[in-house]
Amino acid sequence: MTSTSSKLPDRKLQVGLGDSVLGRFAVAASGGRIVAIVFGRDDAALLDDLRRRFPDASLAADGGVADLVETVAGLIARPAMAASLKLDPAGTAFQKSVWAALRRLPAGATASYADIATAIGAPKAVRAVASACAANPIAVAIPCHRVRPKAGGIGGYRWGAERKAALLRAEAAL
């Protein structure tokens, strides 16, 4: 908008840390909406990740999001309840369209990167779709893990192929 750069005029983010079946995670919220869910090996790494994503925001540990932390932990354990969360992902128009398409994928279902590319009207931008998935700021709640290579296999995952496989396994069992 006005001066320097950045995407959103983020002021402060309420940050909560917690443990899930997939490891330590952080959830960042602003205005009652989730702006990020990230995984990391420890709290320092989690905060570092958030600082990289939101260089212009001040991060504050906030007990007010304790219930949110609990909700997210539950979501990671049981991905079926994703719909109830209020999300506010920051990104380009292209990225947002990709993420919106992903949110239309029900738990237990999967799509190929090519499927998503077609769904957003850019059938040739398959690789760009993968990049958009990799840039997804809200792990699990925006289900990037439900996108798999058309050729087969698990494909890559920002948080590690093992987590992706675990999520798919859990959702397939629903």
Partner DNA sequence: TATTCCTGTCCTG
Partner DNA sequence: CAGGACAGGAATA
The single-letter DSSP state of residue 106 is P
In angstroms, what is the minimal distance from the CB of 9 to DNA? 16
Query: What is the number of other CB atoms lying within 10 angstroms of the CB of residue 123?
Result: 13
In angstroms, what is the minimal distance from the CB of 63 to DNA? 30
Of 59 and 114, which CB lies nearer to DNA in the complex structure?
Answer: 114
Of 18 and 149, which CB lies nearer to DNA in the complex structure?
Answer: 149
Of 49 and 62, which CB lies nearer to DNA in the complex structure?
Answer: 49
- Whether 144 is catalytic is yes
Tokens, residue 161:
């192929």
Q: Given 98, 105, 117, 144, which residue is catalytic?
A: 144
In angstroms, what is the minimal distance from the CB of 66 to DNA? 27
Of 62 and 158, which CB lies nearer to DNA in the complex structure?
Answer: 158
DSSP 142-168: S-GGGEE-TTSS----TT-HHHHHHHH
Secondary structure of residue 60 in the 3-state scheme: strand
Half-sphere exposure in the Cβ direction for 165 (13 Å, CA):
8
Chain centroid offset of residue 154 CA:
18
Instruction: Give the interface with DNA as residue ranges (CB under 7 A).
Output: 92-95, 112-114, 122, 124-128, 130-136, 144-145, 147, 149-151, 155-159
Beta bridge partners of 25: 18, 39
In angstroms, what is the minimal distance from the CB of 97 to DNA? 9
Sequence-distant (6+) residues with CB within 8 A of 69 are 16, 17, 18, 27
Catalytic annotation, residues: 144
